[in-house]
């Protein structure tokens, strides 16, 4: 069946800031207390979407979440009017306030794990929002993520929406950032790779020494069951503990794939040779396994440039393009390697450089900003088409950002009642622009 991969990018929210909330995310820690530019961040994200659209790659949009999350602060004991809640949180627990102001939903790769209809037992597209229990500022995203996905994919004949996994230590789930799919064509049955950092039950699996392993094997297995996957077409692999300690907090910081191409670092996975053999045997088709040697690109350079957090996409020509952040071009060894990659592999047609520095400084490259969803033509026709990207939507969203976003945001501004008013006004208008209905708590 004819199908396409649609990249649904998360719009950067008006409260984009650098509070250093994510342990193990080296870029986030380096940028802590820096002054952010929400307007520039949102514009950079929109320009990346425009580049993908102009290349002929289907593109969609996911809205930001409602921040500051005043309802969450009230749940945690801060009382009074909205401005009183913000002021009190700033005075008594500024780190908690920062967590409730995070614009981290922009990294849509963590929003959910999605299974295309070609792979599921009931031939429907399955969505499981990630519980993101490893970090509080992300864990509070799950309810809104579920409402957003249901608003976009609201045809029960074609789409199945599961609730997030229990937010317990055993079922830590980070979404599609630790999941990928191999196939000969998007509409053909695929092989799904789930990468986990640790097992909650098997204490014999190695764990990192410095940084937390966020995804559990138990969570990955649960998602595979929920989506009705054939075990003969599923691979579970453990992320390398030394890689996690080097700053590889998600698998998409050390591997990148699309259809039958898999680019991965030498130190990406535990028992990597065995994993390669299993993937190869289960795909049963020609698979381009491109292993990047540490002598060519070190773990340090991989993390600092986010080489593997690039987007590998199929162009209308059938060849592929690698969408890399500007930081890759700024690194001599990485850029030289990328030029050689294009020379050596005919399937790779071009390297496209994008500027997403505001996101990169908080630990998210091009791939972090998107949730990729494989859809048939019939499924595409059934979704909320107001969220599909085109030149008109680009212009309207750009004007929306210009009207509502600040070009500077300090941590001290997070308790400003005007920021809350500005954010809600922006999101209220956005839900109308994208025909989403009342998805935010302040609208209900």
Q: Which domain holds residue 7?
A: 3-67+102-443
Report the DSSP pairing between strands 179-182 and 159-161. Answer: unpaired
Omega before residue 224 within 30° of 0, cis: no
The reported pTM is: 0.96
Does 323 map to a domain? yes
Is 198 inside any structural domain?
yes
Tens-digit pLDDT profile for residues 79-106: 999 999 999 999 999 999 999 999 999 9
Q: Model confidence over 45-71: pLDDT tens digits?
A: 999 999 999 999 999 999 999 999 999
Catalytic residue chosen out of the listed positions 53, 211, 250, 265: 250
Q: Is residue 93 part of a domain?
A: no
> How do residues 265-323 score in pLDDT, each as one tens digit?
999 999 999 999 999 999 987 899 999 999 999 999 999 999 999 999 999 999 999 99
In a domain, 416, yes or no: yes
414 token code pair: 């997070």
Residue 157: CA atoms inside 13 Å, Cβ hemisphere, count?
5
* Catalytic (active site) residue 250: yes
What is the rounded distance in angstroms from the CA atom of residue 101 to the CA atom of residue 64?
Answer: 12
Residue-level pLDDT at 248: 93
Instruction: Determine what percent of the chain is predicted with pLDDT higher than 90.
Output: 93
Task: Spell out the residues 6+ positions from residue 116 whose beta carbon is closer than 8 angstroms to its own.
Answer: 3, 125, 181, 186, 190, 373, 374, 375
Domain count, the chain: 1
Q: Is residue 96 part of a domain?
A: no
Please work out, in degrees rounded to the nearest 5, the angle formed at the alpha carbon of residue 398 by the alpha carbons of 394 and 403.
Answer: 150
259 domain-assigned: yes
Q: Which H/E stretch holds residue 265?
A: strand 261-265
Instruction: Count H helices and E strands in the chain, helices first.
Output: 17, 15
Catalytic residue of the set 174, 327, 352, 379: 174
pLDDT band at 187 (very low <50, low <70, confident <90, very high): very high
Residues with Cβ within 8 Å of residue 141, at least 6 apart in sequence: 65, 104, 105, 111, 132
Helix axes 417-433, 82-92, angle to 10 degrees: 120
Catalytic-residue membership of 368: yes
- Specify burial of residue 411 (Cβ count, 10 A radius: 0-12, 13-18, 19+): buried
| CATH number for the domain harbouring residue 378 | 3.75.10.20
Please check whether residue 85 lies inside any domain of the structure.
no
Does residue 78 lie within any of the structural domains?
no
């Amino acid at each position: 069946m004819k199908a396409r991969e649609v990249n649904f990018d998360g719009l950067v929210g008006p409260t984009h800031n650098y509070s250093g909330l994510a342990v193990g995310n080296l870029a986030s820690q380096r940028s802590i207390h820096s002054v952010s530019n929400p307007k520039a961040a949102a514009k950079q994200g929109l320009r990346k979407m425009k580049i993908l659209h102009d290349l002929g790659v289907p593109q969609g949009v996911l809205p930001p979440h409602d921040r500051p999350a005043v309802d969450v602060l009230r749940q945690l004991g801060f009382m009074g009017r909205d401005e009183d809640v913000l002021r009190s949180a700033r005075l008594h627990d500024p780190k908690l306030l920062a967590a409730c102001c995070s614009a981290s939903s922009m990294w849509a790769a963590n929003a959910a794990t999605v299974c295309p209809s070609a792979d599921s037992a009931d031939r429907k597209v399955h969505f499981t929002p990630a519980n993101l229990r490893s970090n509080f500022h992300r864990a509070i995203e799950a309810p809104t993520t579920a409402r957003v996905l249901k608003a976009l994919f609201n045809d029960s004949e074609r789409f199945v929406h599961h609730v997030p996994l229990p937010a317990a230590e055993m079922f830590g789930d980070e979404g599609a950032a630790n999941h990928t799919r191999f196939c000969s064509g998007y509409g053909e049955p695929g092989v799904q790779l789930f990468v986990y950092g640790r097992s909650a039950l098997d204490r014999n699996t190695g764990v990192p020494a410095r940084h937390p392993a966020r995804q559990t094997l138990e969570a990955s297995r649960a998602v595979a069951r929920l989506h009705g996957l054939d075990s003969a077409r599923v691979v579970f692999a453990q992320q390398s503990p030394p890689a996690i300690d080097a700053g590889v907090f998600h698998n998409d910081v050390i591997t990148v794939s699309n259809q039958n191409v898999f680019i991965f670092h030498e130190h990406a996975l535990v028992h990597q040779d065995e994993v390669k053999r299993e993937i190869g045997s289960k795909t049963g088709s020609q698979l381009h396994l491109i292993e990047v040697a540490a002598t060519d690109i070190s773990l340090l350079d991989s993390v600092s440039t986010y080489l593997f957090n690039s987007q590998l996409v199929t162009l209308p020509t059938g060849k592929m393009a690698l969408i890399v952040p500007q930081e890759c071009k700024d690194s001599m060894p990485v850029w030289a390697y990328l030029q050689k990659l294009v020379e050596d592999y005919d399937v790779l047609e071009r390297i496209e450089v994008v500027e997403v520095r505001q996101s990169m400084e908080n630990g998210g490259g091009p791939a972090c900003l998107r949730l990729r969803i494989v859809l048939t033509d019939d499924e595409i026709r059934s979704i909320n088409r107001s969220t599909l990207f085109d030149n008109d939507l680009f212009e309207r969203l750009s004007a929306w950002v210009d009207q509502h976003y600040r070009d500077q945001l300090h941590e001290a501004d997070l308790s400003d009642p005007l920021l809350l008013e500005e954010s809600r006004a922006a999101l209220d208008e956005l839900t109308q622009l994208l025909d989403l209905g009342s998805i935010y708590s302040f609208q209900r």
